[in-house]
Structure formats: C-alpha cells, structure tokens
Amino acid sequence: MSVSTSDEMVPPTRRRAWRSSPVLRFVLAQPLGAAGLLVILIMAGAAILANRVAPYDPEAVDFMAMLAAPSFDHPLGTDAFGRDILSRIIHGARTALSIGFLSSLLGCTAGGLLGVTSAYFGGKVDLILQRFVDIVLSFPIIVLALVVVAVVGRQPIAGIDLNLIAAIAIPIVPRAARVIRSAALAVRAMPYIDAARAGGYRHSHIILRHMAPNVLAPYLILLTAYIAQAILLEASLSFLGLGVSEPKPAWGLMLAGDSANFYQEAPWMILFPGLAISLAVFAFNLFGDSLRDWLDPKFRM
Amino acid sequence: MTNAFDGPRISRRAALALPALALACPGLARAQDGEPRRGGILTYAVAAEPPTYDLHATSTFAVMHRLAPHYSTLLRYAPGNYPKIVGDVAESWTAADDKLTFTFKLHPEIRFHDGTPLTSEDVKATYDRLRAPPEGVVSNRLPSFQQIAAVEAPDPRTVVIRMKAVDASIMDTFASPWNAIYSAARLAKDPNFPARNVMGSGPFKFVEHVAGSHWVGERFDGYFREGKPYLDGFRAITMSPAAMVNALSGRQILAEFRGFTPNERDRIVRALGEDARVQESSWMLHMILTFNCQKKPFDDPRVRRALSLALDRWGGSQSLSRISQLGQVGGLVRPGSDWSATPAEMEKWPGYGRDMEANRTEAKRLLKEAGAENLTFTLLDRNIQPYVTAGIFLIDQWRQIGVRAEHQQAELSSWYAAQGSGNFDALVDSFTQFSDDPTNVLIKYVSYDKAEVAVARATDRELDRLFDEQAKTVDEGARKKLVRQFEARLFEQSYAVPILWWQRIVVMNRRVNGWSMSPTHMIYQDLGDIWLSA
C-alpha cells in the first residue's frame, strides 16, 4: 500500500489556503530561515517546559556525580558540583531567551521610537538626536553594557534581573534608532503624513499611528537580529561575573568559573554550553536574515 | 626572672603534623637543592594591589607579601619550625615569673636602610604607635595590645614591656609579622610616614612600586644577619590568579606564596613536571557563615541553628576539597592545631553530626517552631573562588530543608561596605590570622561592641566572659577547656559558624629554595632565607 501526499489528494480550497499561508510561503521561500525558526521554537518550547523536560533539578548538587562524563544517566555529563549539564542547558535557555527577547524588545522599541521621532521632526531635533546616537554608537556594544551593569548593579525580580536587561538594551537603542530613522525618513516624505499634519493631529498621534506602523518590517528584522546579540551579551556578562549569578543556570555562566579550570579533565563542561550559545545565535541570525529577505520587496524581484 | 616562653613550644601533635605540611608531589623529593648560593632575582606573583604601605594599618596579604622583606619585627616564628618563636631584632629576652614584665635585649649593629641605627627607641615608638595610635594613624592591632601598660627603653639595646594583666597570647603579638619596626625619627616627623614610604631594617631595600604592575626590592648589604639575604633582589608582579597559573607554568614567575586550588596545582605540575615543587598544609583560614543577628528572622537562635544544622560539612569537605581550596571540617581554631577540638568533640556540636537525615529533620522542626518555614533570604558572597563554591554549597544544602537563598555576589568593596553597614541577611565571610592562638581567632566571634570584626552584630556577654577568661589563662589545659566552652556556647547560638577550613597548596618552581611552608600565608615572607638554584 502506498500513501500519496501529492497535491491531487488535497481539496482545491485547502490547497489554496495552504499556499496562501504566510508560514508556508516563508518556509518555501526561506528554508534556512525556517530551519532557524524551528530551532528557536524548539528552544522556546524547552524553556517554557523546562521543569517537565529537564531530567534533573539544574541546581541540585550531587557529590557522587562530580565531573561525570556524558553517559546514559547524564547525556551531556555533569559539572564540578555534579549538576546535570543537559538540565542546566535546558533551564539556561529560559534565562537566555527571556533576557535576550526582553532586552531586544526594549532596545529596539526605544530605538525605533527615537528613530521615528528624529525622522519626523527633522531639522535641529534630528541633528541633536543623531549626534547623541553617534556618541553612544562610538562605544563598543560590550563595553557599554559592561559599564551600565557595573554602575547600576543588580535588581532581580521574579528571577529576572531588570538591570541586566536594561544594560543589554541600552547599547541596542542607538543602533536600532539609526536603522529605523532611515526607513522612517522615506515614510516622512509620504503625502499622508503632510495630510495628517494639515489635519491638525498631534505629533505623538502621527508618530505612533501613521509612521510607526509603516516601519514595522525593519523593526521586526532588528528585533530578531538583536535577540541573538542580546543572548551573546548576556552570556558575555555572565561569563565576566556581571550577569546571572550562580547557582542559577545560564549558558555564559556555565563557561565561566570552574569550567576554565576543568576544561582538560571535563571538556563537556564548556563544549555543550558553548554549542548552545552558538546554535541559538546562529538560529536567530538565520531567521533574522531570512525575515529581512522575505519582507523586503526588492529581494523578491 | 625566667625565660618561660623562650623554649620550643611545639607540641607532640604539632610535631606529628609538621611532616604533613609537605605532601608528596613530583618536585617535593628535592625540597632543597644543595647549599645556599647568592645572587639572582626572585620573581613572584601577588594577586592584589596594596591599599597602603603601612603594615600596622592593614591585614591583607597584598601588603604583607610585598612589605615583609623590607622590615624586621621584635620576635619572629622560627623558619621551618612553626610555631616556635625566636628573636628577630631581639637577641634574647626574659619574662618575669608573674608574666607581667618582659625584657628584650636587641642585636647590636642593626641599621635601617637609611644607615641610622635601630635602637630600643625605635621599638618603643613602634609599639606606642600600635597600642595608642596618634590622630590620623590607623592601628589594626589595637585589640592585641590592650594589655600592654607601658613600653620602656632604659638603654639603646634594652626594651622593657610592662603588662596591665597576664595575656596568654602576648608572645604571638611580639612575633606578629604585622608589627614591623619603624624608625622613631621618621615617625616623630610624620606619624603616617609608613603609609606612603618604605624604610625598614629588613633584608631588602625598597626600589619602586608601579601600581598594577610590579614592586621591586634589592638586597640591603647592611642587613644584620650574617650572609643574608642570598638574593640580589625580588620582583613582586601583580596578576590575577588565572594569570598566575599560566605565568608559573610558563616559567615567567618562580613562585606564588598564597595558594592554588587542587586543579590549578595539577595544571602547573603537568606543565613544569620535575621542576614543580608542591607544598601543602592546613591553613589558618576558614570560611564562615555569618548571620545578621539584628535582622529578623536571624535574631532567633532556632533559625540560625537550623541553617547550620542543614550543612553536611563532612560530605562537603570530602567533595569540595577536590575542586576548591576548601578542605577540613573544623571548629573555631585550625583543625590539627594545639587548640582544636577532636572530630569526636566536634560531632556533638549542632551541624557537625554525621547523620544528615537527623540533622535535616531537626532543622525543619526548628524552622517550623520559629515560624520560618519556606524561608527565603539573600546570601551575600564575594565574586571570587572559593567563596562562590561555598555559596553554591550552602544554597544547595538549604534547598534540602525547603529554604531558598538568592546568591548575591559582590565585589570586595561592596562586600566590605555591606558588612560595615549591616545591609545583609547572611554572609559568606572568612577569617585568617598569623597564629593559632585562641585569642587571635576567637575575637571574630565575640560581641560586636567588643570587636568590629565580629560582623554578626550579636551581643553575648557569656562569650565575652569566656574570651576574656581564656585570654589571661596561661595553663594550656585550663585554656583549652575554656576554648571548648566558648565553642559550645557559640554553636548553641550560631551567630556565625564555620563552614569549612581552607587547605593551603603552594606551588613554585623548584629553583626556589629556603622558603618555609606554614599553615599561614602571613609569616616567612621576608625572603631573607630564600636562594635560587641554577
């Protein structure tokens, strides 16, 4: 018996619905991006269901299993405290994705509003805002995040460090502002903006209701791209001891401390968290690039 | 007049323990290569920058490991024979039968690095500065000088020290490496001269200090010990612990005198092979869990005792010693020292029993009784090892009795600031001293109004009474009993309790000879006996 999945088996209306599905169109047009999205979804699922899918409590110390090599009991081995690395990576995804997403959302939203405002007003306002953006852009992203987190310290609420999110978001703001401004300048030149101004709408109304929705495509692309950056930044700050604190699982933290001391005896301590960071960043970059290509009409031509 | 303190004070137990100071490792078979030879520059690493140049004003090794080669003290610990005390600038001394008067005869012809002679006036000026510092001068040693009534200098070579009351730890005070002798003439001009200048009578003269980089000393040819020092000079390089491992492995430095972790030791030994010399010892340094007794619920002894009961110290000792400098289980004095409790005595203290199931059941019962079930609080910790390891261990142990602690890791300055202001719930603290004498150690656990180092902020007059009593008890047996009583009282109240004691692992290039290993990193750092083999 053979099973056919050809188009002939699908009713015409369902076929049309499939073909008109934006998800399917994205998958067909951008297979690499779709692969990235799949990885992101798997990570998000693992993060959300961490308590169910992780085989062990990520903070449970087990002296009998210290530095255990990958085995059936511990597929990715254990660390110097006998903590299961797979469980820590799964729970670490929660930290990476929550901090990565929230930081990117905060940074891109603030940067987007700044860029649209700058483009809308133009003139001296644009000049002053863009010089401010230039100044902040002159600092390397990691240095700026380091300074912010060192100055403001930590403010954990419900397990999420708000200051760490702010520290990662701040370097994103000028970068997002510069990109969104360039898109918003084209929108600003549209007749409907002049019409809205002539109609007596408030500046905030025009910016939020007429301009911002029209720069949504570059905003979404930036959002996904900067999630990858934010995950890397969070990992870097945790590695430097300024991010998440032990014993909370975080990928960057798993590479720091004892991992450096035991990399020769227990290479799995740095190998798997490192792979998790690389995979997450790669997935978000693939998805972000594909989303850009897919949303940009010039790339479709 | 007798010389009761002059003889060897080494006990049978210490004598038995001394060979264990150096454990078998590749380079150890050649602990010393031949006869001492002159010449060479010793390069070694120090992990932190000195906050001052004044040994009287600080307790950090970052100062001791750079300044000790420049200064002399009245007495000192015999190199290679801790805890025997011998003279440094003092050639001989006598103690009155009532232990209230000590008379010291100084070596003739001792000179400071500026060529001026060191006399009894310099010792007097130094000790007066330590026990009654002028305005603007900091003396960290005030508590140990409390019982000294007067310091007299009847002639240039004689110092007489008169006591208010008997102080059983006074010989350790005279031998303390912190009590460096300064020039009376310099102090007369500027009482804070040593805070910014280096001018002593030790084996090495100061050359330069480049902050964040290095500290250099050169041989003092006028040093009063014949033929010493052997080295032409030394260079102390500032570097992080991680960099030290690589620098020692790559032969860019020859030594580091504080200590490495077991894993770092193994990495260096792998790199240096036969050229590695490893020496290990217990350490007069212990990790302490300190509660803020002025804050709820830590003002309740049941809560404090429950949190101490939850700690599997014996299991932790076995496991954490494989991955960190944390090692032995001990009470308030160094395990293995003359004054320490036996394991059987320890097991009677709350939190030291080996039946963890019973301990945890009792801990849960105490928390319930105190209305502190599902307790959550913040554990303040430093952000370096092995503090972080201790923090992870504590949090895991408490998790098993339903207590959640947020691990707050702070820089040194913030950690100190929180101690000073009392802005903490519980704290991972540590304490180190240069001698095992109970007075030096128990001070950490007395009432806060009696000692600033007792950061648990508790008031316990019974502990204070026991402390004062042991401090003036000369009979060792009677004093030990008082120490046991002090420990029993402390563990019952658990204001602050030891977690684990540290293990000292010193790794150096085998070219370095003549250095003495000891259970403290504060002594034997004048480098006067060190020489380099080819």
pLDDT tens column, B312-344: 999 999 999 999 999 899 999 999 898 999 999
Domains of chain B listed by start with CATH number: 9-48+203-281+508-532 (3.40.190.10), 66-196 (3.90.76.10), 283-503 (3.10.105.10)
Which of B261, B323, B408 shows the shortest C-beta gap to A245?
A: B408
Q: Is residue B350 classed as helix, strand or coil in its secondary structure?
A: coil
Residue A1 in domain: no
CATH at A113: 1.10.3720.10
How large is the average pLDDT for residues B458-481?
94
What is residue A159's predicted lDDT score, i.e. its pLDDT?
61
Q: How far is A138 from chain B (nearest CA, A)?
A: 28
Q: Tell me whether residues A59 and B395 touch, CB distance under 8 A.
A: yes
CA–CA gap between residue B325 and residue B454 (Å, rounded): 24
What is residue A157's predicted lDDT score, i.e. its pLDDT?
66
Q: Which residues of B fall within a CB distance of 8 Å from A154? A: 408
For B130-183, the three-class secondary structure string (H helix, E strand, C coil) is HHCCCCCCCCCCHHHHCCEEEEEEEECCEEEEEECCCCCCHHHHHHCCCCCCCC
Full residue range of the structural domain in which residue A97 is found: 81-299
Q: Tell me whether residues A261 and B388 touch, CB distance under 8 A.
A: no
Q: What is the DSSP string of A158-209?
A: TTEEHHHHHHHHHHHHHHHHHHHHHHHHHHHTSHHHHHHHHTT--HHHIIII
CA–CA gap between residue B132 and residue A275 (Å, rounded): 61
pTM, full prediction = 0.82
Q: Is residue B463 classed as helix, strand or coil in its secondary structure?
A: helix
Q: Tell me whether residues B319 and A63 touch, CB distance under 8 A.
A: yes
User: Widest CA span of chain A, in angstroms?
Assistant: 75
What is residue B459's predicted lDDT score, i.e. its pLDDT?
94
Which among B341, B518, B530, B320 has a CA at the least distance from the CA of B434? B518
The single residue listed with the structure tokens 């809560």 is B303
Question: Taking CB atoms and an 8 Å cut-off, how many pairs form between chains A and B?
Answer: 54
Question: Domain tally for chain A?
Answer: 1
- Distances from the Cα of A14 to the Cα of A23, A34, A262, angstroms: 15, 22, 57
Neighbours of A7 (CB within 10 A): 10
Token pair in block for residue B265: 């030791």
Token pair in block for residue A238: 């945790």
How large is the average pLDDT for residues A183-197?
89
- Residue B508 β-bridge partners: B277
- Does the pLDDT value for residue B531 go beyond 80? yes
Q: Residue A291 burial by CB count (10 A; 0-12/13-18/19+): exposed, middle or buried?
A: buried
Query: Is the CB of A158 inside 8 Å of chain B's CB atoms?
Result: no
pLDDT in tens, B41-88: 999 999 888 889 999 998 889 999 999 999 999 999 999 898 899 999
Q: Tell me whether residues A246 and B392 touch, CB distance under 8 A.
A: yes
User: Widest CA span of chain B, in angstroms?
Assistant: 70
Q: Which residues of B fall within a CB distance of 8 Å from A60? A: 396, 399
Q: How far is B297 from chain A (nearest CA, A)?
A: 22
Q: How far is B378 from chain A (nearest CA, A)?
A: 11
- Does the pLDDT value for residue A19 go beyond 90? no
Query: Is the CB of B267 inside 8 Å of chain A's CB atoms?
Result: yes
CA–CA gap between residue B107 and residue B484 (Å, rounded): 40
- Chain A segment 202-221 residues within 8 A of B by beta carbon are none
Q: How far is B239 from chain A (nearest CA, A)?
A: 17
Cis peptide bond N-terminal to B386, omega within 30: yes
- Does the pLDDT value for residue B358 go beyond 90? yes
Chain B residue closest to A160 (CA)? B406
How large is the average pLDDT for residues B375-401?
93
CA–CA gap between residue A285 and residue A279 (Å, rounded): 10
Query: Is the CB of B408 inside 8 Å of chain A's CB atoms?
Result: yes
Query: Is the CB of A55 inside 8 Å of chain B's CB atoms?
Result: no
Phi and psi torsions of B164, nearest 5°: -75, -40
Phi and psi torsions of A183, nearest 5°: -70, -35
Residue A166 in domain: yes
CA–CA gap between residue B260 and residue B324 (Å, rounded): 9
CA–CA gap between residue A72 and residue B398 (Å, rounded): 29
How large is the average pLDDT for residues B170-187?
96
Per the CB < 8 A criterion, the answer to whether B102 and B150 are in contact is: no
The single residue listed with the structure tokens 């001792």 is B110
Chain A residue closest to B316 (CA)? A63
Q: Tell me whether residues A262 and B319 touch, CB distance under 8 A.
A: no
Q: Which of A78, A245, A248, A255 to substitute to test the interface with B, most B CBs within 10 Å?
A: A245
Computed on alpha carbons and rounded to an integer, the radius of gyration of chain A in Å comes to 23
Q: For helices A22-29 and A31-48, what crossing angle results, to 10°?
A: 120
Query: Is the CB of B437 inside 8 Å of chain A's CB atoms?
Result: no
Chain B residue closest to A58 (CA)? B396
Query: Is the CB of A61 inside 8 Å of chain B's CB atoms?
Result: yes
- Does the pLDDT value for residue B444 go beyond 50? yes
The pLDDT > 90 percentage for chain B reads 79
pLDDT in tens, B404-416: 998 988 877 788 8
Q: Residue B226 burial by CB count (10 A; 0-12/13-18/19+): exposed, middle or buried?
A: exposed
How large is the average pLDDT for residues B372-400?
92
Q: Which of A56, A64, A261 to substitute to test the interface with B, most B CBs within 10 Å?
A: A261
Residue A76 in domain: no
- Does the pLDDT value for residue B466 go beyond 80? yes
Chain A residue closest to B270 (CA)? A264
Q: Which residues of B fall within a CB distance of 8 Å from A264? A: 267
Q: Which residues of B fall within a CB distance of 8 Å from A248? A: 407
Q: Which residues of A fall within a CB distance of 8 Å from B399? A: 59-60
Which among B289, B302, B443, B296 has a CA at the least distance from the CA of B380? B289
Query: Is the CB of A80 inside 8 Å of chain B's CB atoms?
Result: yes
Computed on alpha carbons and rounded to an integer, the radius of gyration of chain B in Å comes to 23
Contacts of A73 (CB under 8 A, 6+ apart): A65
Residue A15 in domain: no
Q: Tell me whether residues A247 and B322 touch, CB distance under 8 A.
A: no
CA–CA gap between residue B397 and residue B212 (Å, rounded): 39
- Chain A segment 222-281 residues within 8 A of B by beta carbon are 241, 245-248, 257-258, 260-262, 264-265
Which among B364, B380, B331 has a CA at the least distance from the CA of B484? B331
Per the CB < 8 A criterion, the answer to whether B499 and B289 are in contact is: yes
Q: Is residue B229 classed as helix, strand or coil in its secondary structure?
A: coil
What is residue B5's predicted lDDT score, i.e. its pLDDT?
36
Residue A126 in domain: yes
Query: Is the CB of B505 inside 8 Å of chain A's CB atoms?
Result: no
What is residue B452's predicted lDDT score, i.e. its pLDDT?
81
pLDDT level of residue A55 (50, 70, 90 thresholds): very high
Residue A51 in domain: no
Q: What is the DSSP string of A59-99?
A: T---GGGTTPPS-SSSTT-B-TT--BHHHHHHHHHHHHHHH
Q: Which residues of A fall within a CB distance of 8 Å from B322? A: 66
What is residue A259's predicted lDDT score, i.e. its pLDDT?
75
Q: Which of A146, A246, A264 to substitute to test the interface with B, most B CBs within 10 Å?
A: A246
Residue A231 in domain: yes
* Polymer length of chain A: 301
Q: Which residues of A fall within a CB distance of 8 Å from B393? A: 61, 81
- Distances from the Cα of B165 to the Cα of B53, B162, B464, angstroms: 32, 9, 17
Q: How far is A110 from chain B (nearest CA, A)?
A: 30
The CA-based angle B466-B468-B470, given to 5 degrees, is: 65
- Distances from the Cα of B358 to the Cα of A72, B317, B353, B365, B479, angstroms: 33, 19, 9, 11, 33
What is residue B281's predicted lDDT score, i.e. its pLDDT?
92
- Distances from the Cα of B188 to the Cα of B123, B125, B126, B202, angstroms: 13, 9, 11, 21
Q: Residue B524 burial by CB count (10 A; 0-12/13-18/19+): exposed, middle or buried?
A: buried
Residue type, B425: D
pLDDT in tens, A263-298: 888 999 989 999 999 999 899 888 888 888 887 766
Residue type, B9: R
Strands of the B101-106 sheet, one edge to the other: B90-95, B101-106, B158-163, B148-155
Q: What is the DSSP string of A252-265?
A: HHHHSTHHHHHTTT
Q: How far is B167 from chain A (nearest CA, A)?
A: 44
Which is higher by pLDDT, A22 or A209?
A209
How large is the average pLDDT for residues B246-254?
95
Which of A66, A82, A156 shows the shortest C-beta gap to B406?
A: A156
pLDDT in tens, A107-124: 999 999 999 999 999 889
Query: Is the CB of B412 inside 8 Å of chain A's CB atoms?
Result: no
Chain B residue closest to A64 (CA)? B319
CA–CA gap between residue A6 and residue B26 (Å, rounded): 72
Cis peptide bond N-terminal to B241, omega within 30: no
How large is the average pLDDT for residues B162-181?
94
Token pair in block for residue A30: 């951008």
Contacts of B468 (CB under 8 A, 6+ apart): none
CA–CA gap between residue B113 and residue B71 (Å, rounded): 10
Q: Which residues of A fall within a CB distance of 8 Å from B261? A: 261
Q: Which residues of A fall within a CB distance of 8 Å from B407? A: 245-248
Residue A2 in domain: no
* DSSP letter assigned to residue B342: P
The single residue listed with the structure tokens 């000195």 is B50
Query: Is the CB of B246 inside 8 Å of chain A's CB atoms?
Result: no
- Where residue B482 falls (left for φ over 0; alpha for ψ -120 to 50; beta otherwise) is alpha
Which of A61, A66, A156 shows the shortest C-beta gap to B392?
A: A61
Mode of pairing for the β-strands spanning B148-155 and B101-106: unpaired
What is residue B255's predicted lDDT score, i.e. its pLDDT?
97
Half-sphere exposure of B276 (CA within 13 A, CB side): 25
